[in-house]
Each structure stands twice: as C-alpha cells, then as structure tokens.
Structure 1
Amino acid sequence: MGGNLHQARKEAMWGMFVADALSMPVHWYYTPEDIKSGYGGWLTGYRAPNKRHPHCILSLSSTGGSGRSGWGSKSKPLIGSVILHDKLKYWTSADTSTHYHQGMKAGESTLNSMVALQILTTMHRVDPDCTHADDTVRAAVLEDYVKFMTTPGSHNDTYAESFHRAFFKDWAVTDPQPRSGADVLKFAEDRSAKKMKGIEDHQLSVVGALVPALPWILRSAGKSEDECVKSTVDFVKLTHPVPSLFPYVEIYARLLHRVLHGKDLREEVKWALERKELGGSDKYKMVHGLKEKADGYRKDSEERLRIHQQATSMLGSACYIEGALSSLLYLALNYADDFDGGVLANANCGGENCHRGSALGALLGAARGASGQPITQKWKDGLTTAKEGLIHLSKPI
C-alpha cells in the first residue's frame, strides 16, 4: 500500500473513532439547544454523558429484537441474556431519561464503533496483506463478532442498534447456535437470502450500517473501486438484509474510496448528492445554497453553527439513511479541509451524530491523510477504549 494511501487509510480510521466519541454524550439530542444547556456550552472536546437524556426512548425499545417493544410479537429478551449482559435494567427501568450510553467515560467509543474495531482487528490478524478471499475473511469476522457480542464485559455501551438485536434474535433460536466462522457465515447467508425476499425491516435501513461497512472499504482501499463496493455491500447484506439500503452503501463506498485515493472531497460530495437516490441535481443545489448561507458567518461563530443545525434538521437528523447521508454530505461539503471544525459541528448538530459522525470522520480524515496531514494529535490521545487497538492497526500494512 503506497505511502499516501496508507496515510489516508490510517487517518480515515482514526477519524471515524474521533467523531463517534466526540458525539457520544449528545447522541440523539434532537433539540440542539439541549446540548448547550446540558453541557454548559457547545461541545469543544470529549465529555462523559450526563446521567439524564432529554429525548431517550430506550425504555420503548424492544429487548427481544428490532424496533420498539410494542411492534410485532413478544420475544424473549436478548438484552441481559445473549447480548448486553448487565444492561437489561436500564432498558426496563421506570426512569425514562436514562442515557443511551450511561456510565461511559469521556473519549469512549459506542458499540457500533467497537464492533468496527473488532472487524478491523480480525482483518489485521487473519489477512494482514489483504490477499485472502472475501468469504474467508467474512467467516473470521462473523465468528469474532458473535464472540464479541455474546461475551460479558467486552464493551461498555448500554445501547445496541436494531440490526444487532435482529441478528441475535435469529441466532439465539438456531439449534445449535453457530459459533465457528463457517457456521456463522452459513447462518448469516441463509438468513440474509430469506430476509431479502420478505418485507423489509426499515429499522435497518439506517446510517449506522456504514459503521461496520467502513472496515471493508478501508480493507479494499488498494483494490479497484468496483471491487471495494462489491466487498462492502456483500458484507452489509449479512448484517442489514434490506435491499433499499444497498445503493446508499454503494454511494458512500465509492465516495470514500475516491477520497482515499486523493480525489477532491468537495467534488466527490457533489457527485454523491447528484445521485438520483439522494435527489439529483436539485438536492445538490439546495445543499450548496445552505452552504453559501453558512459561509456568510465566521467559521467558529454560533450563527454559523445554527445554520448547520437547521440544515441537518431539514435534510435529516434521524438515523434513516437518505436523510442522514444527506446531512453527512452537507457537513462534508462545509468542512472538507477542516477536520476539527467538521467533527465538532457534527457533534453539536445533535440527532444521529455518532454513526453519521463515524462516516463523516472517516471522509474528513481520509482527505486530510491523502494530503499528507495527520489528524490533530489531541483527538487521538483523548480516545480511551479504542486507542490501543488503533495504534496497533496504524502500523504500515
């Protein structure tokens, strides 16, 4: 892997974890003013989450599968038994203000990012030169995913997205429960084929899917763009078997692959926004108009931040992929050459800022690395749970 590409890949990897950890304390804050009032001002660095969350629906979320607790048939709780072993009490508490990431410390990474770290670690162990067939690597990744998720104490998070809960709902009732790489891969492939023929679970067509997808893009950075897209989408099919999601994963994979190879981020954002899935040329014109409005204010001003908050709210601040990816691209357009400003603006816009942030941070980090510039060291130093693993993974491949 060439020097510039290695640097871009490394900074993209750090960037996804920095943006996630910065956003963690204010994840799913849908009224940005709650960030300012709850933390004594806008976030400027890593913070631990407050004990109380102003918009938490954790107690409404299903403990036995995807979505909310009132949807579909009642299922035996996975939370507390199969995954999130000591966390069921927070999901069933009468206190409806429990923070999704309660108990975590400043600089810690949320569950999806820790799963991405596990994927990267597995890839580095079984295929450090990126020469093995995808099936071989997928089997190893899925084996370690099952082990990671079902091992008590493997991470510190309290919340698990619907895709984890849906996966382990089906895994738990399989007899015997698949644990070897070959068995988990067959289970996931069979499950995916069946799910894609049925009614889509729209709780899985979300920006959080890009987080476990990111390691596959980074792994395929040295391959062709089409190979990278295929490798990435093929894995996402196993964790998020909803066909409506795949075109957006393709758009993001192509975008990041190009930026890793030194293409101009703003030009590639324009290409992405003009794709029909995101609204075509009219969407780009709207996003560019919002950027011009923000450009009328000083970069570090509250007035500019409020334009960003309004823009992400209008484009989509929730988890669903079209809106979340549109907001991500809006922020990337504004901060293509300003990693620090971009990840902080993302955090302070609230909403689904952790997973949107992971994908944004990877783009901004890749752009910085491709130009030969590392991410500011303080952001790397401030990470906690992911830092040791990232340092190991940052060595040349």
Structure 2
Amino acid sequence: MTDAALQDRAAGAIMGAFIGDALGVGPHWYYDLEELHRDYGDWITTYTDPEPGRYHEGLKAGQLSQAGIILRLMLRSLVDQGGYDEADFCRRMDEELFPLLDGTPANGPGGYTSQSIRNAWRKRVQEGLPWGQTGGNADTTEAIERTLALAVRYAMQPHELATVISNNARLTQIDDVVLSMTVAYGAVLGLLVQGHKLDKNLSGIMMQLVKTGQLPFHAVTHSDLQPPRPGDPDPPRAGRFASPDALLTPSYVATAATDPAIAIEPAWKVSLVYGMPCAIYHQLPAAYYLAARFPQDFESAVLHALNGGGQNQARTILTGALAGAQTGLAGIPQRFLDGLEEGQTLRKLAMELATRVGV
C-alpha cells in the first residue's frame, strides 16, 4: 500500500460524501416514486434543482444541503487543528451554524435543519446547556454524515476512530444502538480507506479488533462466532456497546449483494427491501449493499442510492463515502466533481485531510 493510494481512497471517501449530499438536494424525500418520476424522469443522472414547495427549495443543482455544510465545517476543523478538537468543532457550530437557525425544520443553511440539530440548537441556544448535554434520541444517520470525516482521518487508528466518533456523535444523539451503528459505519469506512474490501471477510476483521480491545463492543462468542466453551470467563468489555451485531451486518449484506441466487433488480429497489425511511437501521444496510454490489463503479452505486427515493440523500451520502473509498478519488467520474459547487475548494480540503491519515 502506497501513501498515494491511501490518500486517494481517503479523498475519494470525502468527495463521495459531498457528491452524494449534493445529488440529493433536488429529489430529496420523495416517498411516492410515481411523483419522483413525474418530477425528475425515470432515472436521475446528475445534480438537480429542488421543485417549488419541496425540501431545499431555493437551492440550485450542485449545492450542498445542511448535512454537507456541517461535514464541511467538520473537515475544516480537522484540517486546521490537525485532528479532532471537540472544543474547536463545538465553537464552529456555535458561531457558524447556530446563529443561522431558528429551531424550525424548513429553515437554515441548506433549506432544512434535521431533527438532531434542531434539538441541539434548542438545548444550546434556548436553554443555555453546555455541549455534552445537547444530545437527543433521533434514530437517524445525521451523526454519520459528519463523523465520516473522522473515520477517514483516523482510518489507520481504529481505537482512536471509535473514540472520537462516539464522542462527537454523542453531542447530538445519545441512543446506544444508534451510537453503536454510527461507530460501526466509521469502522467499515476506515477499513475501506486502508484498502480492505467490503465483503464476507470484513466483519471478521472488525471482530478481531474487538478481541484486541480496539473497537468498543462486547462479544462473548469466538471470532468465528462459535459458542463459548465451558469454563471460558466472561470477557472484559472493550467498551460501552453491549453487542457487536452492528459490526456483523456489513458482511452479511455484502454476501447477499454478491450472491447470484439473491436478486434485487434493479439495484435501486434495495430501498424497498430495507426501507425508505430515515432511521439508521433502514439506511445502513442499503448503503452497504450498494457499495458492495458496485465496488469499482462509483456512478452506479450513488445513482442507485439516489433513485431509490425516500431518504435518498442520506443513503447517497453514506453510499458515496463507501464507494469513493473503494474507487479512490481517481475513480470518481469527473462530471460529478465538476458539477459540485465549490468543488475545487472541497477537493483541496479533502486532499489536505488525506495527507494526515495515519499521522
């Protein structure tokens, strides 16, 4: 593994997420697929404007939603500080985002403010609570959408990766299951940046990291999921998450994606199989499936994520990061980079972060 290849995958993951966010700005949250096709045709291939009266109204094709804006804020903090500095990240949220919000959904940069950010704003601005007391019970992927940058930065340091992702995610979301799935996605993305494949073996690699105390999940079974033997002691907890199941999901889904006897055709219908809503347990299996099915085809991965409707923006962000980590920045079609507003600036930030991976 060369430094250039590692950095290309790291930058690809970041730019894949930004591209996924901007692709979702127009056709976001169409749960009626006939309505989606009426407004955007049978197959969306590029950035689009939102329709009047829809989410993100007023934005233009290629612009970022608030999820992308927060990811950019996180990226700038990481680059400026050289790593995760929670005080710096929180200061930027206080100074750069929160003054632009009013606590309502259809408001703020990007035209829409998500549930977990609205909750944090109320606790921080209206109630005057300190950071650390701002988390809520949203069961969504909103923490992943910013902490994926942490997964890239600490891709070579899994224990640090899990710690900083858990700490940052907890600022807005406190449900343990959501946190465990958020950390698990970060662990998957980190391994893809390292150069591992999203396949049937990936979960075994993560389970070994559990056994060595590098990922904070509790496991009783052996690494091959065989039962404990009589007399085996209860293993010490490596961390707070009671079950390693969030680490097992990726390989099961990847196995299904490559099994010729299991057909989801066309692939965008994965959104119907795993569910179109916002919750993390709908979003992650679909993103894992598409990234595993199209490991070297960034365009197919993100467009099938996008055309599945529902919470397609989050699905495309998550898929874009996983797909970009596999293809590398060099494998992302140039038209997606060219059509992204401030694409050169975002690419420079992604490359600067990529040079710090493993440092």
TM-score bracket, normalised by the shorter chain, equals 0.7 to 0.9
Q: State the match for 2:143 in structure 1.
A: 209
Q: Give 1:235 deviation, angstroms.
A: 1.0
Write the distance in 2 (CA, Å) between the matches of 1:362 and 1:25.
Answer: 19
Q: Given the alignment of the two structures, is residue 363 of structure 1 paired with residue 322 of structure 2, yes or no?
A: yes
Q: Give 1:17 deviation, angstroms.
A: 0.8
* TM-score, structure 1 as length reference: 0.71
Q: Given the alignment of the two structures, is residue 336 of structure 1 paired with residue 295 of structure 2, yes or no?
A: yes
Distance change in 2, residues 1:285/1:169 (3 Å): closer
Worse overlay, 373-382 or 334-343 = 373-382
Which digits, 9 at most, give the CA deviation of each residue in 1:163-220, with x for residues without a partner? 1110011112345x8xxxxxxxxx112x15xx6xxxx62xx12122210111211221
* AA matched with 1:360: T
Q: Give 1:33 deviation, angstroms.
A: 3.0
Q: Give 1:107 deviation, angstroms.
A: 0.7
Distance change in 2, residues 1:270/1:334 (3 Å): farther
Q: Give 1:294 deviation, angstroms.
A: 4.0
Worse overlay, 11-20 or 28-37 = 28-37
Distance change in 2, residues 1:109/1:269 (3 Å): farther
Q: State the match for 1:240 in structure 2.
A: 173
Write the distance in 2 (CA, Å) between the matches of 1:281 and 1:235.
Answer: 23
Distance change in 2, residues 1:316/1:384 (3 Å): same
**Number of residue pairs matched?**
312
Q: State the match for 1:170 in structure 2.
A: 123
Gaps of 5+ in 1: 52-97, 178-186, 296-303
Q: State the match for 2:245 in structure 1.
A: 276
Q: State the match for 1:150 in structure 2.
A: 98
Worse overlay, 154-163 or 228-237 = 154-163
Q: Give 1:393 deviation, angstroms.
A: 3.8
Q: State the match for 2:234 in structure 1.
A: none
* AA matched with 1:314: V
Q: Where do residues 108-127 of structure 1 align in structure 2 (5 Å cutoff)?
A: 108-127=63-82
Contact (CA 8 Å) 1:210, 1:355: kept in 2 or not? Answer: no
* AA matched with 1:380: L
SS at match of 2:36: helix
SS at match of 2:168: helix
Write the distance in 2 (CA, Å) between the matches of 1:44 and 1:152.
Answer: 32
Write the distance in 1 (CA, Å) between the matches of 2:65 and 2:260.
Answer: 30
Q: State the match for 1:266 in structure 2.
A: 199
Distance change in 2, residues 1:117/1:268 (3 Å): farther
SS at match of 2:322: helix
Write the distance in 2 (CA, Å) between the matches of 1:344 and 1:267.
Answer: 24
Q: State the match for 2:305 in structure 1.
A: 346
Q: Give 1:285 deviation, angstroms.
A: 9.0
Q: State the match for 2:188 in structure 1.
A: 255
* AA matched with 2:140: V
Q: Given the alignment of the two structures, is residue 308 of structure 1 paired with residue 268 of structure 2, yes or no?
A: yes
Cα RMSD for the two superposed structures = 3.0
SS at match of 1:357: helix
Which digits, 9 at most, give the CA deviation of each residue in 1:23-42, with x for residues without a partner? 22111111333222211331
Matched-pair identity in %: 22
Q: State the match for 2:241 in structure 1.
A: none
Contact (CA 8 Å) 1:121, 1:389: kept in 2 or not? Answer: no
Distance change in 2, residues 1:270/1:241 (3 Å): closer
* AA matched with 2:293: N
